[in-house]
Each structure stands twice: as structure tokens, then as C-alpha cells.
Amino acid sequence: MRVRLTVAALVAVTAFYLVTIGWRGVVAIGSGDPAAVALGLALLAVPAVGAWAVWRELRFGAATQRLAAELGATGRWPVEELPAATSGRPDRAAADVVFQRRREEVEAAPQDWTAWYRLGLAYDDSRDRRRAREAMQRAIALHDAARG
């Protein structure tokens, strides 16, 4: 519940800034000065791009939550307990060992969304966020394709 409240607060703050920037763009366009109109049009692009980015992130988060709930409900959630570093993150060496197993699972079953999801978790534990996101996106695509 705390995560949802944090996300809601961040979305609200972002929406406030996007509306404020958009309004400044409208005011600049309304001035009639050619330079201000050009700047106003550019300012209107910022909320459009920002709203798209927020929407995309919310959809990604909802999809990963949906898959996590399904994994948990079917008893396929990974259960290994990784020792934590002083920062609270999983120990890098232990995470790398788990990562190797998860990569082998994906190689053995490349169309299994659960293997890709668990690989994404392993990438995240190994502190490789870009690849974690790619693996999660692959898991979402495979899951959705299997559901029709």
C-alpha cells in the first residue's frame, strides 16, 4: 500500500508540473508575440511527452504487478533468500550465482514468460536495471501473447 501511495503522490506532483508548464505555454501563445508563440508551442510539447512517459511507466508497473501476483498465486515465485549487503540490497556475488541459474532457465525455455520474469528479478538483484526492464518487458509480451 505504501508503494501505491508513493506512486500516487509522484504522479500528482508530476501532473501539477505538467499542467503548470502547459498553462505557461498557453499564456505565451496568447501573447501573440512570434517568439513567445514559438516558445509556447514548444512548452506544450513538454506536457504531452511527460504524460506519455508517466502513462507508459504506470502501465509497465501494473503489468509487472499482475505477473508477480500470478506467479505468487501459482507458487512459482522464486524463493531463494539472498544475503543482504550493508546497503540492504542483495549481495552481488550471491545475486550473480542466482542470475546464472535464471539465464539457463531462459535458454532452456525461451518462450516461458515465468523464466523471463525471474530473469528480470535476477538482473535487478545484480543491479542491472536496463536488462531487468528488458527481461520484464519480454515476460509481459510472452504472457500477453499466450493469453490471446
108 contacts 114 by C-beta, under 8 angstroms: no
Residue 146 has pLDDT above 90, yes or no: no
Q: What is the pLDDT of residue 3?
A: 84
How many Å apart are CA 133 and CA 115, to the nearest integer? 14
Q: Where are the domains of the chain?
A: 2-73, 92-147
Q: What percent of the chain has pLDDT over 70?
A: 100
Q: What is the pLDDT of residue 94?
A: 81
DSSP per-residue codes, 97-134: HHHHHHHHHHHH-TT-HHHHHHHHHHHHHTT-HHHHHH
Q: What is the pLDDT of residue 79?
A: 78
The architecture of the domain spanning 92-147 is Alpha Horseshoe (1.25)
Higher pLDDT, 126 or 61: 61
Per-residue model confidence as pLDDT tens digits over 55-95: 999 999 999 999 999 999 988 888 777 777 777 778 778 88
Per-residue model confidence as pLDDT tens digits over 23-44: 999 999 999 999 999 999 999 9
